[in-house]
Amino acid sequence: MAHELKMSIEELEAFIDSEFPQVHHGGRSFAVEAVRPMGATVRLFYHDRHLRPGGTVSGPAMMSIADYAMYIAILAQLGPVALAVTTNLSINFLRKPEQADLIADCSLLKLGKRLAVAEVSLRSDGCEDVVAHVVGTYSIPPR
Amino acid sequence: MAHELKMSIEELEAFIDSEFPQVHHGGRSFAVEAVRPMGATVRLFYHDRHLRPGGTVSGPAMMSIADYAMYIAILAQLGPVALAVTTNLSINFLRKPEQADLIADCSLLKLGKRLAVAEVSLRSDGCEDVVAHVVGTYSIPPR
Amino acid sequence: MAHELKMSIEELEAFIDSEFPQVHHGGRSFAVEAVRPMGATVRLFYHDRHLRPGGTVSGPAMMSIADYAMYIAILAQLGPVALAVTTNLSINFLRKPEQADLIADCSLLKLGKRLAVAEVSLRSDGCEDVVAHVVGTYSIPPR
Amino acid sequence: MAHELKMSIEELEAFIDSEFPQVHHGGRSFAVEAVRPMGATVRLFYHDRHLRPGGTVSGPAMMSIADYAMYIAILAQLGPVALAVTTNLSINFLRKPEQADLIADCSLLKLGKRLAVAEVSLRSDGCEDVVAHVVGTYSIPPR
């Protein structure tokens, strides 16, 4: 199979801005860093104050960035599929993140007709240790 | 075993306000509705705008309220244990929530010396259907 | 909605015997105890030696009985759907089981057109404590 | 940190044979293929009839081999810790396995004083596709 991507970083960000402006509610928090066959890398800006009450990136913010990375990886592979929805997300919190941007690396483990399964590793920018690990499932609408 | 609770609703809310004011960052979002042996019920206010970008309660907000319900149930049982931390959280999204408060019912499945495991059912206020179901694990610090 | 069940205990067991005789490989291990709207109760016989190496019911045997309970609950609700398959299963091991039969109580949290999500509590026969807790997802084939 | 392993393949297999002979109940099913810093590779023999009722490797057998791979990776790192126990295991079934041995590659994501978290990818021998993906948690006894 030729793993040609259906959307570029620019197209992905334009699609999100147009279809899901609420992602950027309260300030632009996420940026797509890279897309590749069956994967994507996304950045969560540390400067976004409402994602780090208490000084460190919050659990729900980690879940958000992981979910976003999965959605971007699916979109890049399938093209605009606005109705794909998360059905399950399981997160293990491994270490306290640094006071830095968070980088989410997503790999699609399966991209079937009805379900996509992905794993995401979250790291503080510049660090090797995995801060949190996520596995999630998306339901893909019939096309 | 006598399941006497170590903290009342008022004591729980005072403890959170003092130790974790960041929970209420951006507006008071959560209220403890009830505590009982090995369980708690918590409410997420729908009026809190930053928890519902797009008009519906967001996935991360559901995760937050579930995590909060687990923490409250553990505190009520053990007394103030500020250092208990979530190690795993797995959420299944089942239905789109209503435009209403979200009610989180938590039951502790196990409260061991080192680990607590809990399940949480989320429902829109006034509805019977479970909107999301969460299972989570807390690590309990040595005492 | 009238929650009329599509299959009785006898029909469920006959269907399994005919379509999935491998379930009983090595001796009849499981029995359907009860079916009800959106739920089922299943028993794993302790006498089945190959499910309890080391004297206690093994983790994989707990997973098997939980998976079986979910499948029975789905079948009772939908009628014979041989092709429903487990896509995710998450198990928390809470306590060491007794040297006794294991009882699995399953509740369907959602039974959609494409996905079913269920939770299962496992208890040693005659005990109240939950030994293991399972949440699983089945993919339902198009009908 | 120098990631020196505490046990060789031979020592690991001798430890399992002596402490957990029940792993090999019904025939020797598993072999340790490799150990490395924070990881291990384990093989499940397809010829083991009782792991593949119905002709394909069963879900519980996949869970067993994944759990075994995690335990081996922990032992190699910590030395003999007979009392480490699985507290959570979450498995996503992605593809039907081939009629072949199953290879389980485990990476430890965290090895703390009290908890280890690992992920495991299962592949049919000779194939690249991941058949099932597992994330699990072990509780490590105080030392």
| DSSP string computed for A36-97 | ETTEEEEEE-TT-GGG-GGGS--HHHHHHHHHHHHHHHHHHHH---TT-EEEEEEEEE-SPP
CATH of A9-139, one of 3.10.129.10, 3.40.50.2300, 3.40.50.150, 3.40.50.1110: 3.10.129.10
Q: Which residue has the tokens 């030696």?
A: C49
Instruction: State how far the Cα of B79 lies from the Cα of B68, in Å rounded to an integer.
Output: 15
Question: What gap in Å lies between CA A95 and CA B88, rounded to an integer?
Answer: 12
Q: Is C134 exposed, middle or buried (0-12, 13-18, 19+ CB in 10 A)?
A: buried
Considering only the beta carbons, identify the residue of C92, C117, C137 that sits closest to B117: C92
CB–CB contact B90 D87 (8 Å): no
**3-state secondary structure at position D124:** strand
> Are the beta carbons of C91 and D89 separated by less than 8 Å?
yes
Integer Cα distance of C44 and C32 in angstroms: 9
Residue C1 has pLDDT above 60, yes or no: no
Residue D86's φ and ψ, nearest 5 degrees, are -70, 130
pLDDT > 70? residue A53? no
DSSP letter at B21 equals G
**Interface touch B137/D87, C-beta < 8 Å:** yes
pLDDT for B131 equals 97
Best of B95, B109, B113, B117 to disrupt the C interface (most C CBs within 10 Å) is B109
CB-based contact, D59 to chain C, within 8 Å:
yes
User: Between A and C, how many residue pairs show a Cβ–Cβ distance under 8 A?
Assistant: 16
How many residues appear in chain D? 143
CA distance A108 to chain D (A): 11
CB pairs under 8 A between B and C: 35
Separation of CA B33 from chain center: 10
Q: In Å, how far are A9, B70, C60, C135, D95 from C93, measured between CA atoms?
A: 42, 18, 11, 12, 26
Range D13-38 average pLDDT? 86
What does the block give as tokens for A77? 């592979």
pLDDT category at D21 given cuts 50, 70, 90 is confident
Range from A32-46, A55-69, B40-54 carrying the lowest mean pLDDT: B40-54
What pLDDT is attached to residue A1?
42
Is the minimum CB–CB distance between D18 and chain B shorter than 8 Å?
A: no
Per-residue pLDDT of chain B (143 residues), as tens digits, is: 446 899 999 999 999 988 887 777 667 789 999 999 999 999 999 876 656 666 778 898 899 999 999 999 999 999 987 788 999 999 999 999 998 999 999 999 999 999 999 999 999 999 999 999 999 999 998 87
Q: What mean pLDDT comes out for the span A22-51?
A: 85
DSSP class of A3: -
- Which of B114, B137, B139 lies closest to D88 in CB terms? B137
C2, pLDDT greater than 70 = no
Q: Considering only alpha carbons, which residue of chain D is nearest residue C63?
A: D60
DSSP-derived secondary structure letter, C127: -
Whether the full predicted model's pTM is greater than 0.80, yes or no, is yes
- Is the Cβ pair A25, B53 closer than 8 Å? yes
What is the share, in percent, of chain C residues with pLDDT greater than 90? 69
Instruction: Identify the band that residue D2 occupies on the pLDDT scale cut at 50, 70 and 90.
Output: very low
CB-based burial label for A107 (10 Å; 0-12, 13-18, 19+): middle
Amino acid identity, residue C33? Answer: E
> Cα separations (Å) of B138 from B76, C4, D106?
14, 40, 24
Give the three-class secondary structure for C47.
coil
